[in-house]
Amino acid sequence: MRKTALSLMLVFGLFGVGSAEMMHKEKTLYQRLGGYDAISAVVKDLAVRLVTDRQLGVYFKGLSNDSKNKLIAHLTNFVCSATGGPCIYTGRDMKTAHEGLGISDSDWNRFVELTKETLNKFKVPPKEQQEFLQAVAPLKGVIVEKK
């Protein structure tokens, strides 16, 4: 019995099973960003920047305050879900949501700039900023219509 216990300890030790490294799983980006409330605050700040931006504000003209609030709720759930959080995004897919708006590379680049400004305002660490921007980057192909 004692010999079996020693053998198991040796095997587990050799393969790292049960070790602190194996037991410690890195937190999701959602968790590292601070969870739902932090993501909600970031999205609200970014939404204000987008709506009031000289270049990008044109895409939000004509939206009522209720429509803007609904957009913020959808974006919050989208970001929550995309970063590994528990939210379920129920909005339209990104291609459908942006099709026909004529969004350009310049518009996309401005969106990225404003996103970085918001992430910096909330002191999001560089690693998390990079991960977030990498998660959003593939959307460029379905959002941008004008090169």
List Cβ neighbours of 56 (8 Å cut-off, separation of 6 or more): 50, 107, 110, 111, 114
List Cβ neighbours of 54 (8 Å cut-off, separation of 6 or more): none
Closest by alpha carbon to 115, among 57, 52, 42?
A: 42
- As given in the structure block, the two tokens for residue 42 are 């970031």
Contact assessment for residue 118 and residue 128, using Cβ atoms and an 8 Å cutoff: no
Ligand-binding site membership of 24 (annotated)? no
Ligand-binding site membership of 74 (annotated)? yes
How is residue 138 annotated by DSSP?
G
Annotated binding site: 74, 98
Annotated binding-site members for heme: 74, 98
